[in-house]
């Protein structure tokens, strides 16, 4: 099937051709006709299958009748709202909207946090038919009354499962309460769960389920490998792989923001160009790191699940799971950054003994045994199920020396912290008085006690007494008579 067979407008077909596409993907082939018919849908497809264009193209066609070249903001009210969980995904969707609407006089804006809100307010005042936003920043505009939803016709929730994981559902419900009841709603997700279906029941009306592939499936063009390694040797193994296994461009996933920054800093000290992307980074820093990674200026980009969700990197060859995700479905999201559009990709996992249960869950959800690549110098024993061990002599080499050095530095920092805490808790000592030196005369008093003079106190001098005067009766003094 060709895009021409889907009934799209000539302006949209021209934009698709300019982007270099000629045939729709399975999710596009199924979703576009349904959306053009004005029906609600619950769409699912693995990451990298073109689901963004699957809802962008028909949405633009339904809004084409409202397109206007007028400069008046009143002619450009908000008619379509697209919600995404992260800034990176919002920017990706926004770029897709701009790409396919370049031959239509429709205006779009991308709203996300981490940047000055005043520029966004000024742009909204000029009128925008399409708003791509993250829930938090959109509610900021709602509070400041800079955006109105009374003419919204289409609502799109992209990556709804990630919104659920990130706790955005209360914000989503607040936004839904502000929208017109009569609208078309589209919910897209890379994976489905029962909670997602419950959310769909509250916002969709008689939706049509569209799945381009088996639920929670993965691309067949991605190879899966795992290395058994002790937790304390992971960094050394990662350096070994980056330097000796030709990982020229790798996206590395860790579990925490602090871990992402620390791992990137460690790789830089090993002579590997690396950057980090996570929620504590400003938008400018995240954009700079992403652009450097795309251009090849840095070899490695370390990120968390939240920050890296929605990253669109052409021909990304490798994804490394430095730490396995706690939720097996997140493994699908991670490796979905590679092997896109039918191209080959590699998913590498570093698995320590403590992560054995997570590995078992991942193998169940991907329905395959992940290949174990043996590296004896990094393994410890053979009782991990898939080959991950617990105890064995550590290998020798520069990587292990670096790892031991890092551990020693960490122990030293911990000791310093403990000593500082002990100093804070220890009661203050009384100052010690200097001891009498041998060459000084011996004191005949105790210097630690208050000084008391040994000179006897002089008796007060009594005044000289004269002859005593006769005492008068009180009455005589007052002029009265004194009784004899």
* Per-residue model confidence as pLDDT tens digits over 396-427: 444 444 445 555 555 555 555 566 555 555 55
Please compute the mean of the pLDDT values over residues 100-123 and round it to a whole number: 93
The reported pLDDT for the residue numbered 143 is 94
* Residue 392 pLDDT class (50, 70, 90 cuts): very low
pLDDT above 70 (res 382): no
Q: Per the structure block, which two tokens stand in for 431? A: 């100052």
57, 6, 8: which is closest to 29 by C-alpha? Answer: 6
d(CA 124, CA 278): 28
Strand partners, 349: 226, 321
Kind of pairing between the strands at 154-157 and 208-211: unpaired
* Per-residue model confidence as pLDDT tens digits over 351-381: 999 998 999 999 888 888 898 988 877 765 4
Q: Which domains does the chain have, with CATH numbers?
A: 3-211 (3.40.50.300), 222-409 (3.40.50.300)
pLDDT above 90 (res 222): no
Give the number of residues written for the chain.
484
d(CA 56, CA 58): 6
* Residue 1 pLDDT class (50, 70, 90 cuts): confident
The reported pLDDT for the residue numbered 398 is 42
Looking at per-residue confidence, does 95 or 310 come out higher? Answer: 95
d(CA 84, CA 441): 86
d(CA 275, CA 263): 9
Q: What three-state secondary structure class fits 289?
A: helix
* Per-residue model confidence as pLDDT tens digits over 25-47: 888 899 999 999 999 998 876 66
d(CA 92, CA 52): 9
d(CA 333, CA 162): 10
pLDDT above 90 (res 127): yes
Q: Per the structure block, which two tokens stand in for 97? A: 């909207």
Q: Is 121 left (phi over 0), alpha (psi -120 to 50) or beta?
A: alpha
User: Which letter does DSSP use for residue 220 in this model?
Assistant: T
The reported pLDDT for the residue numbered 35 is 94
* Per-residue model confidence as pLDDT tens digits over 142-198: 999 999 999 999 999 988 877 877 788 889 989 999 999 999 999 987 667 777 778
Please compute the mean of the pLDDT values over residues 437-444 and round it to a whole number: 58
* Residues in CB range of 5: below 8 A, 6 or more apart: none
Which of 227-231, 295-299, 448-452 is predicted with the least confidence, judged by mean pLDDT?
Answer: 448-452
**222 contacts 49 by C-beta, under 8 angstroms:** no
The reported pLDDT for the residue numbered 386 is 41
Side-by-side strand order, sheet with 108-111: 108-111, 130-133, 80-83, 154-157, 184-189, 41-44, 208-211
The reported pLDDT for the residue numbered 383 is 43
Mean pLDDT value across the chain = 80
* Residues in CB range of 447: below 8 A, 6 or more apart: 433
The reported pLDDT for the residue numbered 154 is 96
* Per-residue model confidence as pLDDT tens digits over 317-328: 899 999 998 888
The reported pLDDT for the residue numbered 367 is 83
Q: What three-state secondary structure class fits 53?
A: helix
* Per-residue model confidence as pLDDT tens digits over 131-158: 999 999 999 999 999 999 999 999 999 8
251, 260, 274: which is closest to 337 by C-alpha? Answer: 251
pLDDT above 60 (res 480): no
Please compute the mean of the pLDDT values over residues 229-254 and round it to a whole number: 89
Which of 1-10, 201-210, 259-268, 437-446 is predicted with the least confidence, judged by mean pLDDT?
Answer: 437-446
The reported pLDDT for the residue numbered 83 is 95
**88 contacts 310 by C-beta, under 8 angstroms:** yes
* Residues in CB range of 132: below 8 A, 6 or more apart: 82, 84, 90, 93, 94, 97, 108, 109, 110, 111
């Amino acid at each position: 099937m060709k895009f021409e067979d889907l009934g799209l407008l000539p302006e949209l077909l021209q934009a698709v051709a300019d982007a270099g596409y000629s045939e729709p993907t399975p999710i596009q082939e199924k979703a576009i006709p349904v959306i053009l018919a004005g029906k609600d849908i619950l769409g699912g497809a693995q990451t990298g299958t073109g689901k963004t264009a699957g809802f962008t193209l028909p949405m633009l066609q339904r809004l084409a009748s409202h397109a206007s070249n007028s400069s008046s903001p009143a002619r450009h009210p908000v008619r379509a709202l697209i919600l995404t969980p992260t800034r990176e995904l919002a920017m990706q969707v926004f770029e897709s909207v701009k790409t396919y609407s370049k031959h239509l006089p429709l205006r779009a804006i991308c709203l996300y946090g981490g940047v000055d809100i005043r520029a966004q307010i000024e742009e909204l005042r000029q009128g925008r038919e399409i708003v791509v936003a993250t829930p938090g920043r959109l509610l900021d505009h709602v509070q400041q009354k800079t955006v109105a939803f009374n003419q919204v016709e289409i609502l799109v929730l992209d990556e709804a499962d990630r919104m659920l994981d990130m706790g955005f559902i209360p914000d989503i419900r607040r936004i839904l309460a502000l929208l017109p009841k009569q609208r078309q709603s589209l919910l897209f997700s890379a994976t489905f769960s029962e909670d997602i279906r419950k959310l769909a029941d509250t916002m969709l009306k008689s939706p049509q389920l569209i799945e381009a592939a088996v639920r929670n499936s993965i691309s067949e063009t991605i190879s899966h490998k795992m290395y058994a390694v002790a937790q304390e040797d992971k960094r050394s193994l990662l350096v070994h792989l980056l330097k000796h296994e030709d990982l020229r461009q790798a996206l590395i996933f860790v579990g925490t923001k602090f871990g992402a920054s620390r791992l990137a800093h460690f790789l830089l000290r090993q002579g590997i160009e690396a950057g980090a992307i996570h929620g504590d980074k400003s938008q400018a820093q995240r954009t700079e790191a992403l652009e450097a990674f795309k251009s090849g200026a840095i070899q490695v980009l370390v990120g968390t699940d939240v920050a890296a969700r929605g990253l669109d990197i052409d021909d990304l060859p490798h994804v490394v799971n430095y730490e396995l995700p706690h939720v097996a479905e997140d493994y699908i999201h991670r490796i979905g950054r590679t092997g896109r559009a039918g191209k080959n990709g590699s998913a590498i996992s570093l698995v320590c003994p403590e992560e054995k249960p997570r590995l078992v869950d991942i193998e169940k959800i991907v329905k395959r045994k992940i290949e174990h690549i043996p590296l004896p110098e990094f393994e410890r024993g053979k009782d991990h199920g898939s080959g991950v061990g617990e105890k064995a002599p550590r290998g020798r080499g520069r990587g292990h020396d670096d790892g031991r050095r890092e551990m020693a530095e960490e122990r030293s920092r911990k000791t310093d912290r403990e000593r500082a805490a002990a100093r804070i808790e220890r009661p203050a000592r009384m100052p010690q008085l200097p001891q009498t030196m041998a060459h000084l005369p011996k004191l005949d008093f105790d210097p630690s006690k208050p000084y008391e003079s040994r000179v006897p106190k002089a008796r007060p001098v009594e005044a000289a007494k004269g002859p005593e005067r006769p005492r008068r009766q009180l009455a005589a003094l007052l002029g009265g008579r004194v009784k004899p």
